[in-house]
Amino acid sequence: MDYARSGDTCLDAVLQGGIPSGSAVVLEGAPGTGKTTLAFQFLHYGAVQENEPGIYVTFEELPDQLYQDMGAFGWDLRELEKRNLLRVMCMSPKLFIEQISKAGGLVEHVIQEMRCRRLVVDTISLLRFEAEELGAYRKLFYSLRNALRKFGITALLLQETDSSEADRIPIENYVSDGVIRLSLKCHMENYRKRTLEVLKMRGSPILEGEHHYKITDRGIHVVPSLSSVQDKLQDIGQPVKTGFPKLDRLLFGGIPTGSSFLVDTNSKANYKYFIASIITEHLKAGFRVIAFINSLSTLEDMVTKYRLFGVDLIREVREGRFYIIEHYGRSYPADLQPSIIDVSHTDPQSFQQILKDRLGPVISESTANGDHWFAYYDLNSVFSQQGIDFVRRFYSEEMSIARSVGLTVVALCNFAEIRSDLASYLERSSNGVIRTWVDGGYQYMQLVKSPYSVISEPLIAVNIPEMPYMKLV
Ligand SMILES: Nc1ncnc2c1ncn2[C@@H]1O[C@H](COP(=O)(O)OP(=O)(O)OP(=O)(O)O)[C@@H](O)[C@H]1O
Ligand SMILES: [Mg+2]
């Protein structure tokens, strides 16, 4: 099935893909719940990201205020109109009804002229006054529905909910293909919460339940509810904590077993404790670990760092639970040698062959016995030692091996140093992406992609004196 994506990845996750293309969906809510905002988010995203021109029909007098309000979300409607990707049509409900149901009418003309794919009516509540009685209104609504269907347009029909009519299901909800409800409810006495619920979506599965949403300065952002995504969690694998409660909550427990995460960083950002905490939690959960050691740190440094986390690294290495990938030909104590994988002075082919020969048999034997593995790749080292072109091939092969054996992967990579096509490839082939950067005196971290489409605001990473030595606020 084809979906029209909404402009919010989390709403698309709730809709399990987006709004089914060609359907007419009622978006209902009380005044101020964000109907107009979500409608323009949908049109703007379609126009800019999907090259799907859209029409916004309003029955209000053309308000300059509207352009200004939507501009505050970063959506330049006038510019889209200039590019023929958007048309704001301001007309009376009467004229709209006359024109939409008429072949060759004004609305049809504009739809064809701009190859319109998305349409919004703000609000259909006003159409009711055009019909003398309910039967006539029902007919009128059917003809609107049929006209949209004729053009295969995906439509959002905004509807005001009236609390005095809470018990009555409006006929629009029967006739339309779907219903999304925005509500503002009391929450724990003193608070109010905004919730979004999909009441109906023909021919498409949905994540049931009431989901929180926020109105941010980039538009509507839905936070899918925990209970509805937990079922899906089972498919991906049990989550393993990262050690950072805030991040673990966003990830519904932690990094799912068998998933791959990318940490986009740069040399100024201090991610050392971040990675050490993730690896420690995996060791505590019984995972066996493969980790790159970079040019700046020595085994002694690592031992000291992991001791802070209560891990005896030497013992882990000696007992074959912690493998180290060494790029720089440094020497290690003899009894650790079996767990050191020396890839210094290798060309790309032998690099991969060495990893395969050394780790392949161990991993397949132990996964057969029920062991789990965690790999930490420092792609920056691979870039510098094997070249950037190698990384794409290497990473996609590693990922397919990882998937086949259920290996969890966290890879470090400095996006600023690689081509944007490679960066977006790496991003696409990962289940999660965490960005870190330094600005002024602060270090930031942001979850920008995750298995359940939850993204976070930029979080500030502050150092703390106790484990895990860093806190996200
Ligand atoms: N950056 C922002 N952060 C938080 N809230 C915002 C922001 N910008 C606008 N809002 C809020 O969003 C709401 C506007 O929503 P919108 O106009 O889309 O609602 P609506 O359902 O179309 O309302 P109406 O029925 O009155 O047309 C207002 O309550 C406004 O206070
Ligand atoms: Mg509105």
Residue whose CA lies nearest to ligand 1 atom number 5: 215
- Residue 95 CA to ligand 1 centre (angstroms): 28
Evaluate: CB of 125 within 6 angstroms of ligand 1: no
- Residue 218 CA to ligand 1 centre (angstroms): 12
Q: Is 150 exposed, middle or buried (0-12, 13-18, 19+ CB in 10 A)?
A: exposed
Residue 32 is classified by DSSP as: T
With the most atoms of ligand 1 within 8 angstroms of its CB, the residue from 35, 37, 42 to mutate is: 37
E-only strand ranges, 17-123:
19-20, 24-29, 54-58, 86-90, 118-122
CA atoms within a 13 Å half-sphere pointing along the CA-CB vector of 11: 29
- Residue 34 CA to ligand 1 centre (angstroms): 5
Residue whose CA lies nearest to ligand 1 atom number 10: 215
Evaluate: CB of 54 within 6 angstroms of ligand 1: no
- Residue 27 CA to ligand 1 centre (angstroms): 14
Closest Cα partner for 37 from 185, 222, 230, 311? Answer: 222
Evaluate: CB of 215 within 6 angstroms of ligand 1: yes
- Domains of the chain (ranges; CATH) run 3-224 (3.40.50.300), 232-472 (3.40.50.300)
In sequence order, what are the residues at sequence separation of 6 or more whose Cβ sits closer than 8 angstroms to the Cβ of residue 96? 57, 59, 107, 121, 127
- Residue 36 CA to ligand 2 centre (angstroms): 4
Residue whose CA lies nearest to ligand 1 atom number 29: 32
Q: Is the separation of the CB atoms in 127 and 93 below 8 Å?
A: yes
Q: Is 206 exposed, middle or buried (0-12, 13-18, 19+ CB in 10 A)?
A: middle
Atom number of ligand 1 nearest to Cα 214 = 4
Evaluate: CB of 467 within 6 angstroms of ligand 1: no
Residue whose CA lies nearest to ligand 1 atom number 31: 32
Q: Is the separation of the CB atoms in 355 and 341 below 8 Å?
A: yes
Evaluate: CB of 29 within 6 angstroms of ligand 1: yes
The ligand placed nearest to the CA atom of residue 182 is 1
- Residue 283 CA to ligand 1 centre (angstroms): 47
Q: Is the separation of the CB atoms in 203 and 250 below 8 Å?
A: no
* pLDDT tens across the length of the chain (473 residues): 799 999 998 898 888 889 999 999 999 999 999 999 999 999 999 999 999 999 999 998 777 899 999 999 999 999 999 999 999 999 999 999 888 878 888 888 999 999 999 999 998 988 888 888 888 888 888 888 988 999 999 999 999 987 666 666 778 888 899 999 999 877 666 667 899 999 999 988 887 788 989 999 999 998 887 655 544 444 568 889 999 999 998 888 899 998 999 999 876 777 889 999 999 999 999 999 999 988 888 899 999 999 999 999 999 999 999 999 998 889 899 989 989 999 988 888 888 889 889 998 999 889 888 899 999 998 888 888 888 888 888 888 888 778 778 899 999 998 888 888 888 888 888 889 999 998 888 999 999 888 877 888 889 999 999 999 999 99
Which residue is listed with tokens 């080292």? 381
CA distances from 64 to 38, 71, 73, 90, 347 (A): 18, 11, 15, 12, 63
- Residue 33 CA to ligand 1 centre (angstroms): 6
pTM of this structure: 0.58
Atom number of ligand 1 nearest to Cα 160 = 25
